[in-house]
Structure 1
Amino acid sequence: MNDQYTKHRWKFLLFGSITGVLMGISSPTGAEPSNLVFDLIGGLILWYILWRLWAWSKRRADRSENGSRKNAS
């Protein structure tokens, strides 16, 4: 998908990785390598969902703004 929101993909990877590592460190079992991998994947999934929701809401706002401009002219 080539749109203006894909340039923020690095933020998704960065925040997802940080969230996953923090979830792994703060877990009751400690930062075991096998648990850390699953927490890292979970963090990436969480941030992917948030990233897609953000991009969807921005597109929707852009569409409604463009529609209101067309109606005003």
Structure 2
Amino acid sequence: SLTTAAFPQYMVILFIVFLFQFGVSCSCLAMNQGQQEKLLGSSWGLMSNDTRISLEKKLDCCGLFNDTQDPTTF
């Protein structure tokens, strides 16, 4: 149970989490497609093969930017 002393601390933590999420959301909205692709490309290069395979299975795809015109990309 929360005591009256812990309640303000809990609200401060929630507010900090909200600010972080709001900042991430604004950053994502401010990025253009080229910046998004660059960020995804650099993240894709850092991922382990297991993580890549897991994402490919969940998203039903193969590779990051693969399409029918250039299947060798990533």
TM over 0.5: no
The structure showing larger relative contact order (alpha-carbon pairs under 8 Å, at least 6 residues apart) is 1
Larger C-alpha radius of gyration, 1 or 2?
2
Higher helix share: 1
Scaled by the length of structure 1, the TM-score of the pair is 0.43
Scaled by the length of structure 2, the TM-score of the pair is 0.42
